[in-house]
Structure formats: structure tokens, C-alpha cells
Chains A and B, each alone.
Chain A
Amino acid sequence: MNDLPKQEETTLSFEKIKKDILHPLQNHKGLELWIVFLVTVIAVCGWAYIVQLRDGLGVTGMRDYVSWGLYIANFVFFVAVSLVGMLISSILGLLRIDWITPISRISEMIAVAFVAVSGLVIIMDMGRPDRVANVIIHGRFQSPILWDITVVTTYLMISLLLLILPMIPDLAICKNELKKASPIMKKIYNVLSLGYINTPSQHKHLHRMIKTLMVLIVPVGLAIHTVTSWLFAATLRNGWDTTIFGPYFVAGAFVAGAAALVMAMYFFRINYKLQDYITDVQFDYMGKLMVAVCLVYLYFNLNEFLVPGYKMKTGDDVHLKELFTGHWAVLFWCSQLLGNVIPIILLLMKKFRKPLPLMLISIFVLASAWIKRYVIVIPTLLHPHLPIQNVPENFVHYFPTGIEIAVTVLSFALALLIITVLAKIFPVVPICEIAEQRGIEVKIED
């Protein structure tokens, strides 16, 4: 498949790449239907959020003990998924691994969408979102919450730049090729392409900027999820009070992000008919990558549960028993087995690394990753150090209310809408980079 095309076919091939990749942007009826569906979901679930704004957080299942519920679990999940941008386009990109070229933009789109919505999820968790600025105005440098807001914003900014900068050559192509685009879109292409015409000096300059950001996003990406873990680990609570929470969260994030990326890859491959670009090779490597990150995560899980489980010190014992054999056992073991152990075993076999099986496995991995966050956040809050006594019945248990579930669905719909809109207006596969990688000359008219 990687046979180099003959010299006389090169111009034609570049035309073909352009055509293949740009075609779905303007001729995809299903995509518009999908956007309408997402907007409807957002409208319905947005009403649930308005109810929450009007009546306060009392409409949620959160009470004095479980004050971090579904929303915070969901926030951690969103931050985790967004880390895929750093893993694929930066870490693997800096290592000059070439199979990631066709999927790097999808991973950046996922990163931008999920990190943007993760910030919104935090605001959705606030009873008084109008006071969010107080975190900056009165924020204490010692508080992980100030750090978290900072890194989420920073990561969003760098991810956006890492989405747009490598896309500048493609945007120049869009400007020239997409004649049917609306005037607003033409203006956007025109402004964002920054007059790029692929001169050697432009090319060199652009790639130097991208390289700088790729290096910069590595510490920021590590910081975003480490700081998120500190929101928990900086408290003296059973199950949170552990030193490996930072790397544990980062490893878990790579698993969740890789699974989300596989699902997006599969969706675009089928819907955008990109079989020639997002090939079985990419899926095969993603399957292998998933085994690698799952193994790291499994190793951290072993440390996270085996070490305190061996000692069973007071406080931890109740928490761990509830996780292992008690109320949370089903969720806990589902997330560990379906999201970690079984995928590792299956993905060792080549036939499971084919697009469809890998995508199906990824659904389980991603769902398990979500459940895992839920199991990290809520059980700890239900096991405080001081005994729960003389409280109303609904303080003792936690189950998300319909409003909470609707607002969570809203966050997912928002993230999917952002990805869809990005994929509707921007080419999901980098045209110029693919061409360059295959030795085809890139021509951008002035």
C-alpha cells in the first residue's frame, strides 16, 4: 500500500488526496442530520441545566457528604480523554513516528473539544457559576483548584494552536478548493491560512513553531492531569490519599484517550470514506499502543490497590472492602476487567486489532474508564473519617438525579458537537502532511 506512485502521477495523486479529504466537508448530508440531533439533545439537556440554575444544586443527588458527584467524575473523565492530543501528536510526533500522521488531527480535535467541555463541566458543577471569577480574584496559590483552572485554560490554548498551526497549509488549500463554502467560511479559511503558500521559508518557520508547541504541551499535558489528581490527593481521604495519584491518572488518561481516538478514527474512516488514509495499519498500531498504555495503567492499579489492600489500615479497610466485595464491587471489577485486563489479552491477537473489533473493544475501554472515575470519586466521599450520624436518609447514599444525568449528557453532546463542527469545516486528515510523507509535491496556488 505504501508503494510510491510514479512520478507522472504525482500531481494527479495530490489532486486525489485533496478530493478524497475535502469531499466529505461539503457533501455529507448525514453529518448535518447528526448536528441537528446533537443540537436537539443540547437543547433538551440545556433545559435541565436551567432548572439546576434556577433551583440550585438541591436538584442534584449531591448532599453534605457526597459533594462531588457525577459532575466531578465526568470532569476527570473529560480531562483524561483530552490527554490523547498530547500523547499522539506531541509525544509520538516528537519521536518522529510516521503512522500517526493521518490521525494526529483527529486526536487534536478530540483534545480541544474535551478540554473545552471539561472546563464547562466544572462550571456546571457550581451552584453559583456567576462566581467563577472569584477563583482568579481570590484564588490562593496553595489551592489545587487555582492550579487546575490555570492548566485547563493553558492546555486548551496550546491544543487549539496545535490544531490550527499544522492545519495552516490545508486551510490554504481549503481557501482555494472549497468554492461552494459560505462567505463566512471563506473568510475564516482566508484569515486562518495566514497567506500561506508553502514557500520554503514559510514551511521552515511554521514547523519550528509547531515543534516548540509540541515540546511545550508535554509538561502542560502532564500538569493538567496531575493537578486534577491533586484535587483528590491533596486531601486526607481514604482512597485519595496516595502518592501515585498523579502518574496513575496520567496512565488512565492515555487509556481513555486512546480508546476515544480509535472510536473517532473508525467513525471518520467509515463516514468520510477515508479507508485509504486511516488504514488497518493505524488501527493495528493503535491496538498495540492501547496494550502498552493499558499495561502501564494495570501496573499502577496494582500499586494503587494491592499495597493498601495488603495493609488494610483503619479507614482504608472499609473503603477497599466496599470496592472489592461490597456495594461498589460490580462497577469496580467491571471497570478493571472490561476496561483493562480483558482488552490487554484480546489486543495481543492481531485479528482483534482490525478496525471493527478494535473499535468495539474501545467502547468497553472508554465506558470502563468513565465508570472508573465514578468509582474513584464517590465511594471515598461516602466513607468519611468521622462517622455519619444524625443526618437525613438521603445524605448517606448517592445516586445521580435525572437532572444530573441530563446535564452530563449535555456535556457529551457538547463535546461531540465541537468535534463534529470542527470535522465539518476543517479537513480531518492533514492533506499536506500526507502528501509530504508519501513523497508527493505539495502545490498551493497563490
Chain B
Amino acid sequence: MKNIYQLLTCLILILSLSNFTVQAEDWGVPSSAKKKHNPYDANVKNISSGKKIFNINCKTCHGDPGKGNMIHLVPISPTDIGSQDFLVQTDGEIYYKINKGNGAMPTFEKTLNDEHKWMVITYLRSFDKSNRRSEKLAEVKNPEVTDVKLDLEIQDSSKYILAHLTGMTKKGKRVGLHGIEMSFLVKRNFGYLDISREDAYTDDNGKVETVFPYDLPGDREGHVDLLVKLTDDAFYGNLEKSQIVSLGVPTIPVNPLDERAMWGTRANAPIWIMVSYIGGVFVIWGVIFFVLFQMIKIPRLAQNKE
């Protein structure tokens, strides 16, 4: 009898423990969802924008695909989603998981739109070693080049910024590199503001342009720090060019400490509080000193009593 109880207890324990792990692992993807296909091409553009979305939404937990530098969580750490173990799943399965979430993995059903989700999947597929098709598509069709250069052309009057990406071919000819995404960034107080146009990919001549916003404040002279860089460092490394341009709206900076306020320095105290304090001190201490002065009279009054 006793043995049976022990056995039962053991069974319950094992079951409950295994149940726990199963719960965390079991996504329960319906077979209909698995059949869903990625409607987007695995081209450079899509992979690149997928990478951008991935870096913003997924990287903090999952780390870089294929590098295994994910965050460590209990009971289960996030998967390295660039690993082959993960990528054996169909696009539909990954799509379902992004949508629904499970345990610590949040749902992205409402956070990302369909296009963005598929872009992320496209990006992940570029790590799939068994998927030759995507690799071929993902290739950049630019000739092999050395000495890649990024040149900027700025028109102050129209606030037009043109970036020109070129490279030297083996034959010694400088050619434009096309289909590369470029980021146009302007330095603000706490980081960079992206002013790139949508689809900021270089054209066949290796050129991409953007228009500097007309209402963006600069310093007194309208200077701003402009930084133009390749969005994805996978092609030509971390190529960037920074330049001070006078495209901003000239703005005289306002320091909140310059105005009279409760939070200001002593010199910038509100007038009413200075008047109250100094006035109060003068009145009260004036009376005190008056009384002290009056005390001198007492001995004198004793002398002329009669």
C-alpha cells in the first residue's frame, strides 16, 4: 500500500514537472497556420528592412541571429533564431509564433503589421543554410569593388542632400553601387533623428537623396551635425560620413535656467519671493534693531527722573 503511494507521488511529481516544460515548449501551431507562405521576395531590400525591424523589436531578447548571444531567462532562454534548429520550421510556423507569443515571448500581433512580420521572416531566412534560393536572391548584384567611397552633395537653398556611393572595380573604374540602403541622420540632444526618405536605396548610379526637413531647428547659425551611413554594414562595412551643414532653422537656444522661476538660481529667483524674503527680513530685523537702540535710552531716563 505504502509503495503504491510513493509511486503515485513520484508519478505526480514527474508529470507535473514534465507538464511544466511541455507547457513552455508547446506552441500548438495549427496545421493550417503552418502552410502559410511568405508573400514577399527575399531580395536585399526586404532582408535589410527585416533586419531593421528585428534589431528594434527582437534583438534585445534573441540577440544576433546565429551568434547565440540571447538574453538568459529562467525557465527557458529565448532561442537563437538564426540557428538551423529554429529555421527548420515553415514560414507559417514562425509567423504564427510572432503573432501569438508564448510565456515570456510577447505577442506582436498588434505591434507589427503583416508586412513587417514577413520582412523579419525574410531576414531570418537569409541565415537558413538549407534555403539556397534565398541566398541567391539576397546577393547584391554589384560588381566586386574596392575603395568604397561615400560622397555628399548638399544644396543649401533647396535643403537637398544627395549621397553618392561608389567603388573601384578591378579594372580601375569607379562605379556607382546600387540597391544599398542609406541612413540620413541628424544629431539632436539625445541621439540621432532619422530624416531618410522611405526606401532610401541607392539607384543604378549609386545615388540616393533626401530633403532636409524645413522646420528642424539648428543652432544660432542653423548648423546641424549630419551623419550619412550605410544602414546595413553587411555589404561594405561600417561606412559613414559626418558633416556639419547649415540646413537647420537658426535658433537661439533657450535655457530654462535663464528665466525667473522657482527652480532657478538665486539670481533668477522670482521677484515676489525675493521681495517677500528681503522685505520680511528688513522689517523684522529693523524692528529688532529699533528695540535694541531704544534700550540705550533706559539708563538716560534714570538720570532725569525728577
- Give residues in A with beta carbon < 8 Å to B: 138-142, 146-147, 150, 154, 157-158, 161, 165, 168, 194-197, 199, 201-202, 205-206, 209, 212-213, 216, 219-220, 223, 446
B291 within 8 A of A: yes
A209 and B295 within 8 A (CB): yes
Shortest distance from the beta carbon of B279 to any chain A beta carbon, whole Å? 11
Report the separation of the CA atoms of residues A219 and B279 in the bound assembly, to the nearest whole angstrom: 14
A residues less than 8 Å from B295 (CB atoms): 165, 194, 209
Contacts of A165 in B (CB 8 A): 291, 295
Q: Closest CB-CB distance, B91 to chain A, in whole Å?
A: 41
A197 touching B294, Cβ below 8 Å: no
Q: Is B270 in contact with chain A by the CB < 8 A criterion?
A: yes
Docked pose: A249 CA to B34 CA in angstroms: 71
Is B22 at the interface (CB under 8 A from chain A)?
A: no
23 A/B residue pairs, CB under 8 Å, sorted by A: A140-B264, A140-B266, A141-B266, A141-B273, A142-B262, A142-B263, A142-B270, A150-B277, A154-B281, A154-B284, A161-B291, A161-B292, A194-B299, A195-B298, A195-B299, A196-B298, A199-B301, A199-B305, A202-B302, A202-B305, A205-B294, A216-B284, A216-B288
Interface size on B, residues (CB 8 A): 28
Please name 6 further chain A to chain B contacts, defined as beta carbons within 8 Å, in addition to the given A138-B266, A146-B277, A202-B301, sorted by A numbering: A142-B269, A150-B277, A165-B291, A197-B305, A201-B305, A212-B287
Cross-interface CB contact of B302 among A138, A140, A196, cutoff 8 Å: A196
Q: Give complex CA distance A216, B284 in Å.
A: 7
Find out whether the CB atom of B291 lies under 8 angstroms from the CB atom of A142. Answer: no
Contact B284 A141 (CB under 8 A): no
Q: How far apart are B255's CB and chain A's nearest CB, in angstroms?
A: 17
Best-buried of B273, B288, B294, B298 by chain A (most CB within 10 Å): B298
Cα–Cα distance between A164 and B269 once the two chains are bound (Å): 38
A285 shortest CB reach to chain B, Å: 29
Q: Are A213 and B266 in contact (CB under 8 A)?
A: no
**Chain B 268-306 per-residue mask, 1 if CB under 8 angstroms from chain A, else 0:** 011001100110110011011011101101110110010
Cα(A196)–Cα(B297), bound, Å: 10
Complex CA gap A425/B166 in Å reads 98
Chain A residues near B242: list those with CB within 8 A.
none
Q: 1/0 per residue B150-169: CB within 8 Å of A?
A: 00000000000000000000
Task: Tell me which residues across on chain A come within 8 A of B305, comparing CB atoms.
Answer: 197, 199, 201-202
- Name the residue on A nearest B292 (C-beta): A161
Q: How far is the CA of A139 from the CA of B288 in the complex (A)?
A: 23
Is A201's CB under 8 angstroms from B287's CB?
no
Residue on B with the closest CB to A199? B305
Of all chain A residues, the one with the shortest Cβ separation from B304 is A201
- In the assembled complex, which residues on chain B have CB atoms less than 8 Å from the CB atom of A141? 266, 269, 273-274, 277-278
Q: What's the nearest-Cβ distance from chain A to residue B271, in Å?
A: 10
Taking CB atoms, residues of chain B closer than 8 Å to A168 are 298
Q: B265 interface residue, CB < 8 Å from A?
A: yes
**Which of A138, A142, A157, A201 is the most central at the interface, judged by chain B CB atoms within 10 Å of its CB?**
A142
In contact, A205 and B287 (Cβ under 8 angstroms): no
Most buried by A among B265, B278, B294: B294
Which listed residue, A142, A158, A201, A219, touches B301 by the CB 8 Å rule? A201
Cross-chain contact B302 with A195 (CB below 8 angstroms): yes
Report chain A residues within 8 Å CB of B265: 140
Q: Is A142's CB under 8 angstroms from B298's CB?
A: no
Instruction: Contacts A141-B277, A142-B262 given; indicate if A206 touches B298 (C-beta within 8 A).
Output: yes
Find out whether the CB atom of A216 lies under 8 angstroms from the CB atom of B287. yes
Q: From A146, which residue of chain B is reached at the shortest CB distance?
A: B277
Closest CB of chain A to B266's CB: distance in Å?
4
Complex: how many Å from CA A161 to CA B294? 12
Q: Knowing A141-B274, A142-B273, A212-B291 are in contact, say whether A199-B302 is a contact too (CB < 8 A).
A: yes
Q: How far is the CB of A48 from chain B (nearest CB, A)?
A: 35
Closest to B273 in A: A141
0 or 1 for each of B21-32: is its CB under 8 Å from A? (1 = yes): 000000000000
Query: Residues of A contacting B264 with CB < 8 Å?
Result: 140, 142
Residue from the set B264, B280, B292 with the largest chain A CB neighbour count within 10 Å? B280
Residue of A nearest to B270 (CB): A142
* Cα of A158 to Cα of B284 in the assembled complex, Å: 10
Q: Determine the chain A residues whose CB is within 8 A of the CB of B288 once the complex forms.
A: 154, 157-158, 161, 213, 216
On whether the beta carbons of B299 and A147 are closer than 8 Å, the reply is no
A139-B266, A142-B264, A212-B291 known; A147+B298 contact, CB < 8 A: no
List of A residues within 8 angstroms of B294 by Cβ? 205, 209
Contact A220 B284 (CB under 8 A): yes
B268 to chain A, nearest CB (A): 9
